[in-house]
Amino acid sequence: MNKPTGSNADATPASVATGNGPRHVAIIMDGNGRWAQQRGRPRLFGHHAGAKRVREIVEACPSLGVEYLTIFAFSTENWKRTQSEVAGLMSLFRRYITSQARDLKKNGVRVRFIGDRVRLEKSLIKMMDDLEEMTRDNTRVHLTVALNYGGRDEVARATKRMARDVAAGKLDAETVDEQTLTRYLDTRLLPDPDLVIRTSGEARISNFLLWQSAYAEYEFIETLWPDFSPEVFAGIVQNYAGRDRRYGGVKNA
Ligand code: IPE
Ligand code: IPE
Ligand code: MG
């Protein structure tokens, strides 16, 4: 485990000065339940504390040189949780959009959602669509929220759309390559993540951005998501700048 080294998120980190920082950071926000449990509180208390953290992490992005931030809010597997936890999370997402929409727009944050919307409630889908529309001209930070998202599900849905286009004569199957599939993914407008962070000490990716993270750097940290501060974030971004990404090649070749 790398220890974050940054102590002041406002200071310009070396990674920004050198241009070696991650352009796109993706975060698996894990550990809300354990954070609540440690305090003898219900799991939803942890989810609320976790949601409060998002704003300051988004706001820390520009000074860290991060243009794209993608956060995992609800996975295609999270429906397995109790009905009351799922309902609580869905109402938290609604409450979050309602309370944050104006500030997100004002602060230059462009919001996008990825994941399968079909299973979500109509009223929530409408709020997601409206927020995307409201913030579509913003460019300061690109915030993507993965909601009912699973990497395998995304590739399966992309493949289905691609197959339909082949059947309709809009796409020649012989020309299909990696770039073609990339264009059918939910993330088609985003660059690949440079750095994927998972909080809470679990060293797995739980079906997050499988295709897109083929060459991402990973950082697994013990901190539970509700304790993830801009200082911890800045430290991880600085660690990233010291890594040597070879993409299968040889250093300095
Ligand atoms: C992550 O926290 C948030 C969601 C998956 C919605 P968890 O709820 O998974 O927290 P732990 O892993 O049980 O501590
Ligand atoms: C991954 O966390 C999903 C989100 C953070 C939204 P989980 O807590 O659902 O993952 P597992 O079950 O530990 O793999
Ligand atoms: Mg978890």
Q: Ligand 2 test: best mutation among 30, 34, 85, most atoms within 8 Å of CB?
A: 30
What's the CA-to-centroid distance between 31 and ligand 3, angstroms? 5
Q: What is the pLDDT of residues 124-158, one digit of tens each?
A: 999 999 999 999 999 999 999 999 999 999 999 99
Assigned token pair, 163: 């197959």
Q: Is 74 in the pocket of ligand 1 (CB under 6 A)?
A: yes
Whose C-alpha lies nearest to ligand 2, atom 11?
206
| pLDDT for res 251 | 80
19 band by pLDDT with thresholds 50, 70 and 90: confident
What's the CA-to-centroid distance between 198 and ligand 2, angstroms? 10
Determine if residue 112 is left, alpha or beta; phi over 0 gives left, psi from -120 to 50 gives alpha, anything else beta. Answer: beta
Q: Is the pLDDT of residue 181 over 80?
A: yes
Asked if residues 198 and 29 have their Cβ atoms less than 8 Å apart, the reply is no
Assigned token pair, 214: 């083929």
Q: Is the pLDDT of residue 114 over 90?
A: yes
Q: Is 32 in the pocket of ligand 1 (CB under 6 A)?
A: yes
Q: Is the pLDDT of residue 5 over 50?
A: no
2 band by pLDDT with thresholds 50, 70 and 90: very low
What residues flank ligand 2, with Cβ below 6 Å? 28-30, 72-75, 78, 202, 204, 206
175-203: average pLDDT: 98
CA distance 136 to 194: 23
CA distance 112 to 101: 12
Q: Is 185 in the pocket of ligand 1 (CB under 6 A)?
A: no
Q: Is 88 in the pocket of ligand 1 (CB under 6 A)?
A: no
Q: Output the CA–CA distances (angstroms, integers) from residue 158 to 39, 140, 144, 166, in the order listed.
A: 42, 29, 18, 12
173-192: average pLDDT: 98
228-239: average pLDDT: 97
| pLDDT for res 17 | 67
Residue 29 CA: which ligand 2 atom is closest?
5
12-30: average pLDDT: 86
What's the CA-to-centroid distance between 53 and ligand 3, angstroms? 16
1-25: average pLDDT: 65
Q: Mean pLDDT check: name the lowest of 4-13, 45-54, 72-81, 161-170.
A: 4-13
For the entire predicted model, the pTM comes to: 0.94
| pLDDT for res 110 | 98
Q: Is the pLDDT of residue 7 over 70?
A: no
Catalytic residue flag (residue 107): no
Q: Which residues surround ligand 3, an ion (CB under 5 A)?
A: 30
| Residues present in the chain in total | 253
Mean pLDDT of the chain: 94
Phi, psi of 40 (to 5 degrees): 70, 25
Residue 47 CA: which ligand 1 atom is closest?
3
The domains located in the chain, with CATH, are 6-150+191-240 (3.40.1180.10)
Residue 146 CA: which ligand 2 atom is closest?
6
17-31: average pLDDT: 92
Q: Is 29 in the pocket of ligand 1 (CB under 6 A)?
A: yes
Please report, rounded to a whole number, the percentage of residues in the chain having pLDDT higher than 70.
Answer: 93
Whose C-alpha lies nearest to ligand 1, atom 3?
30
239 band by pLDDT with thresholds 50, 70 and 90: very high
Nearest ligand (C-alpha, residue 73) = 2
| pLDDT for res 9 | 44
Asked if residues 226 and 50 have their Cβ atoms less than 8 Å apart, the reply is yes
Q: Is the pLDDT of residue 253 over 90?
A: no
Q: What is the pLDDT of residues 50-87, one digit of tens each?
A: 999 999 999 999 999 999 999 999 999 999 999 999 99
